Structure 1
Amino acid sequence: MLAELSAKLCAQIQGAATILRTAQRVCILTGAGVSAESGIPTFRDKQTGLWAHYNAEDLASIDGFAREPELVWAWYQWRRELVHDKTPNPAHYALARWQEHITLSHSAQQLTLITQNVDDLHEQAGSTVTHLHGHLNRNRCSQCDTPYNAPIVSTAHQVDFGVALLNCDHCGSYIRPDIVWFGEALPVDAWQTAEDAAANCDVFISIGTSSMVYPAAGLAHLAQQNGATLIEINPNPTSNTVVDITLAAAAGVVMPALLQGIITSSPPSKD
């Protein structure tokens, strides 16, 4: 893998791997760039087709849903159909293998994986992950927050992407996607996990995120304030001045090579 990369990038990856081999606590934040490598458009990409005249920010809000629930629900059904056949890429699998390696080798290293993405590609690859912005494949009531499981609609277990509004079985209110919309608070437990991991890590890795969406973007600063080494993996590096190591290439290229460097010499085992 390393032989296929430039000499400069190889050296940077090897340097990062050396640091990560001895790190006791690693916090990883993934963003839309990781999913984009699996063919999922980033949230800030220009809308296409029927949605070209709408801003994603207007559709992904509680105000938008209150004004035009049919429109917002239809957009999310379209997004679900768009994502439905997408599969994990090498970056997802490398992260899952890293977690698996820690478990199977009885390593003392702790790795906390956090994502801003709402797809389930990390889970498909086999990772344990904390979602900050919710889950695209889940629904809940817009009023009482009761989870809603859409029924299977065919013997082939196909997903129903129909745009008709659904009603809560408990209170009758409209069902909405289980997504954190603009202006809404992040899930308390998920955010606590992310804050604790960032505040106590030795190394913080940002993968495929613009570091523009707060409060998640503040996790890197929290880690830096507590003495962590910051590594960014992004083909288009951000202007984040707290980053110590920048690996300027696609996550699907960097992560397998980085993992190879990490597992060649495992961290100390647990007692």
Structure 2
Amino acid sequence: MKSKRPVGRPRKNWPVKESEPSKVRVEVADDQVVGHLNVRPHGHARNELEERINDLSDSWETESLFEDVIEDISEDKFINDVDAVTPEEAVRYRQLLRAIGPQEFCKRTVDSGSITVKKLLTAFGIRPPAFLEGLPDHAYFGLLTLAMTRELVKRAKLPNYNTIDDAVALLKSSRNIVVLTGAGISTSLGIPDFRSKETGLYSQLEKLGLGISDPQEVFNIDIFREDPTIFYSVAKDILPDTKGLYSPTHAFIAKLQDQDKLLTNYSQNIDNIEANAGIRPDKLVQCHGSFATATCQKCGYKVQGDTIFADIKAGNIPRCEKCIAALRSNGSVKRKRSYNKSTSKKTRRRSTDDDDDDDGQYDIPAAGVMKPDITFFGEELPDEFSQRLVKHDRDLVDLVIVIGTSLKVAPVSEVVPYLPPHIPQIYISRTPVSHINFDIDLLGDCDVIVAELCRRAGWNLEHPMLKPDQKVDIKLEDGYKSRHVFTVVKPGEGSPNPEPEPKQKQKPKPKREAKS
């Protein structure tokens, strides 16, 4: 299966078929929420909802319906307001929806008058938006319909996996683990992620005044072909300069490989740090490409990526050596005119310079531009991505671990929903996600979490960035029984949550002899 959707582009920017209701417009009109659902009285809207659920495609490329509409008003934590349901009630409502379906669910809740639509929204992590404040309760029903749809298309959490001990047991027993990684596994090396506020690359690009409306356009293939200077003006800032370094999380993935447990590492990162950690090419799918190689956009000549690093660091546009050689052979290469700083005038080079073969002296706009083999927006994913997922991993995987990614970038975000729903799934990142139900959420610094998992599994995870005496505080997040928050304990704070010492076996008491 070959996706033509742009890698790295949020779902809202994808080209979609007209028949796909992947984006729903919601607005206020005549005291009602209207949109593609054409919200009417409860019964009609519920029937439409059921039809849409029944029509969902089994294709892994199908977008999560309506995610863009309510993404901005969704909460990844339970809403703790006076007008919100409790975490326990939220769990019960979600379970009830799955058990009896949307039509009967609405009959037992909002139709019976036991709860308002506005309050019921909070059971699905939806904070009622300000623009509906003051309207009749039925004005919120359109959003409730969307919220129920989103909940029902999610994979159901497996109830028998909840604790850290469960996660460790899965690590030790599994033999075909799919690991899906994002930028979060490289941030400890000083490589910024893309979407974090203030510190993310896109946030930094917005401040540079590049003359583009959206910082993501830096990675748009059409814009690159039209004007590669936009990309190369910032490429030096994202060029990986790790000099063989890799994070403890990379080491953890390599540990799974060494123990013959790693089925495939699907990486969204372009830094190619997996190679530093020793993750083998046959175990790695770089979904968005990488800086490891570069290709001429004119003749297709491919080189090792580091051969153009000097040009990138200097802010130059790297040109194709093969194209340059061809231009030289037919005499198409012309000398640059030198610039006289004292007179601010361009001057001809002296004839004594003719023997200098420095390519920097030549005007070579006809030579092809070298582009790192990063998959830009508008380019196809590597064939290996879909081929391996569909024809190999789906039938073999026995555990899914997602690390350091919010899974908001399609089609990689659809990998997890595509895999069999009965396969356990573990999520490791700083912040939770609401659009996918993982079985166990481990929240905090990725390096800290994987180190603690290895310690509990009895695996020796060696890495210079890990402190051998590091103490970690682990707490359950309120309202959840499977969401654990990891925090490193600072020196002097004492040992948190001390694990119980193993009980000493008591010596059997000598038997008393019976009196005669």
TM-score, normalisation: structure 2: 0.43
Which residue identity does 1:135 align to in structure 2? S
2:177 aligned with 1:20, yes or no? no
Q: Is the 8 A contact 2:297 2:368 kept in 1?
A: yes
Gaps of 5+ in 1: 1-10, 103-108, 265-271
Structure 2 distance, partners of 1:159, 1:19, is 45
User: 1:185 aligned to 374, 380, 403, which one?
Assistant: 380
How big is each residue's C-alpha offset from its partner over 1:19-73, in whole Å with a ceiling of 9 and x where there is no partner?
A: 2222232100000111122221112224438963344311101121123212212
Change (3 A) 1:205 1:49: closer
User: 1:255 aligned to 450, 454, 459, which one?
Assistant: 450
2:294 aligned with 1:139, yes or no? yes
How many angstroms does 1:210 deviate by?
0.8
User: 1:163 aligned to 294, 304, 315, which one?
Assistant: 315
Query: Which residue number in structure 1 is paired with residue 221 of structure 2?
Result: 62
User: 2:405 aligned to 203, 209, 221, which one?
Assistant: 209
Change (3 A) 1:23 1:53: same
2:234 aligned with 1:75, yes or no? yes
**Aligned counterparts, 1:25-104, within 5 A:** 25-44=176-195, 45=200, 46-48=202-204, 52-54=208-210, 55-80=214-239, 83-85=240-242, 87-102=245-260
Q: Which one has more relative contact order, counting CA pairs under 8 Å at least 6 apart?
A: 1
Gaps of 5+ in 2: 1-161, 324-366, 460-516
Q: Which has the larger radius of gyration?
A: 2
Which residue identity does 2:382 align to in structure 1? P
How many angstroms does 1:263 deviate by?
5.3
Structure 2 distance, partners of 1:239, 1:254, is 20
Which residue identity does 2:254 align to in structure 1? A
Structure 2 distance, partners of 1:180, 1:27, is 22
Change (3 A) 1:144 1:239: farther
Query: Which residue number in structure 1 is paired with residue 132 of structure 2?
Result: none
Change (3 A) 1:126 1:199: same
How many angstroms does 1:207 deviate by?
0.4
Q: Is the 8 A contact 1:17 1:261 kept in 2?
A: yes
How many angstroms does 1:254 deviate by?
1.1
User: What is the aligned-residue identity percentage?
Assistant: 26
Change (3 A) 1:151 1:260: closer
Which residue identity does 2:441 align to in structure 1? T
Which residue identity does 1:91 align to in structure 2? T
Superposition RMSD on alpha carbons, in Å? Answer: 2.6
Return 26-35 or 91-100, whichever deviates more.
91-100
How many angstroms does 1:262 deviate by?
4.0
How many angstroms does 1:75 deviate by?
1.8
Aligned residues: 241
Which residue identity does 1:115 align to in structure 2? S
Which residue identity does 1:78 align to in structure 2? D
